[in-house]
Structure 1
Amino acid sequence: MVKAFTQEYVYKHPWERVTSASYRKFTDHENRRILTHILEVDTLSCKHDPISKKLYTTRAVTVHFPGPWFIRKIIGQEICHCIESTVVDAKSRSMQLSSRNVSLQKFIEVEEKIRYDPHPDNPSRWTVCRHETNIHLKPLPALASIAEKVEQRYVEKVVKYSATGREVMERICTYLEAESREIRRL
């Protein structure tokens, strides 16, 4: 069974600020206290193509496995390793992130896709974020009857973490806006 859901959110900040905030989300110590499910983030590669004006980044993200405690006990792991790939296209002003777990795939597959684009109604001041998540729990025979409930619980955790992530992004955007005003004032 696959559980899929999509969220859309509008940041009242320009695309450049929102994409900068996305890169800073995991680096600030204050954010790490808020994003408690994120244990570690390492940049594996970062390449800029001067012809296409695209920036390609790959990061390894280690998270606290958000599944129910009894599933964590059965599989014997509390953490999950993920790979996040990002493409920033400066020409079209688009940023696309995709992440997928690389551990625990025998039990669960999670794929997230996030896209940031200038908002069609106010492209110079707002950014629209589209967030799509697909969750596929591969139930153990003993747990087949509760697989759907476990997937729903996982969805609830992802929705909660997404909301927390948006709060962090808003805070960083506000900080970057104040920083920009201060620089212009000087």
Structure 2
Amino acid sequence: MRIWTSEHVFNHEWETVATAAFRKYPNPLNRAVTGIDVLRQSLEAGKIMTERIIQSHFSIPSWATKLTGFSGTQYSHEYTVVDPLNKEFSLITRNLNGASFLRVDEKLTYTPLEEDPTKTVLKQDVSVTITLPAFADYCEKTFLSIYSQNANKGRQGVEWVIDNLKKEYEEISKKVSSEVQEMSEKVRSVIASNPKSSR
């Protein structure tokens, strides 16, 4: 078993980062995730609980396919808890297929940065266990190297979603402002054409 941990600080408030992290896929920076299915979602004690199945596809060497039968398509179970009151968003993920030779347990936690609550810290913990005879050490090192690269893409993906959320907000704000201005002009026009109604 090998363990990998990391911390990353986003220069955005927790609400923004948590929203973006939940909506991270699909994004053009990490195309490994090919499908997401929501199994169930509930609200308990003010916390939003969600279970999803994540489908991913990875390019793997042909020798690895021959050795394990793994085609590169991975299914994982993801359990998330959003706690708006305490500002904590956690994701726990474990692979479903390939577990006979590979087990990956991942936990991501997003919380406000203690020293500066306008920023958000992401803590990542992953443990990988490979049970292939004679290849375990090499495969674990290789897997964590790839995971580290993908984790960086994941953080970039969150930033990409945040940028798009800002664009969505700006577009909605412009549309609402435009509609309010249009309605105001219509009201003024009606009043101007019928002065008695304004008395």
How much has 1:119 moved relative to structure 2? 0.7
2:185: which partner in 1? none
Alpha-carbon distance between aligned partners in 2 of 1:112 and 1:68, rounded to the nearest angstrom: 24
User: CA offsets, 1:4-23, max 9 Å, x none?
Assistant: 01010001011001111012
Matched, 1:88 2:79: no
Q: Choose between structure 1 and 2 for higher RCO, CA contacts under 8 A separated by at least 6 residues.
A: 1
Structure 1 residue runs of 4 or more that deviate by more than 6 Å after TM superposition: none
Secondary structure of 1:62's counterpart equals strand
Matched to 2:149, the amino acid is K
**1:132 maps to which residue?**
125
Hey, what's the Cα distance between the residues in 1 that align with 2:109 and 2:10? 12
How many residues are treated as equivalent by the alignment?
Answer: 174
Q: Structure 1: where are the runs of 5+ without partners?
A: none
CA RMSD of aligned residues (A): 1.8
Alignment match of 1:41 (pick from 36, 43, 57): 36
Find 2:151's aligned residue among 148, 155, 162.
Answer: 162
Taking the TM superposition and a 5 Å limit, the aligned residue runs for 1:103-114 are 103-114=97-108
CA apart distance, 1:67 = 5.3
TM-score where L is the length of structure 1: 0.86
* Pair member with larger Rg: 2
Shift of 1:37: 1.6
Which residue does 1:148 correspond to in 2?
A: 137
| Paired residues of 1:67 and 1:154 also in contact (CA < 8 A) | no
Q: Structure 2: which 5+ residue stretches go unaligned?
A: 178-199
- The whole-number CA distance in structure 2 between the counterparts of 1:6 and 1:44 is 28
- Write out aligned runs for 1:1-186 (5 A): 2-26=1-25, 28=26, 31=27, 33-49=28-44, 52-65=45-58, 68-78=61-71, 79-123=73-117, 125-140=118-133, 144=134, 146-180=135-169, 186=177
| 1: CA distance, partners of 2:16 / 2:109 | 14
Q: What whole-Å deviation, never above 9, does each CA across 1:77-100 have from its counterpart, x for those lacking one?
A: 221211000001111000010000
Distance 2:151 2:68 in 1: 25
Indicate the percent of aligned positions where both proteins have the same amino acid.
28
Structure 1's 121 and 179: CA in aligned 2 closer, same or farther, altered over 3 A? Answer: farther
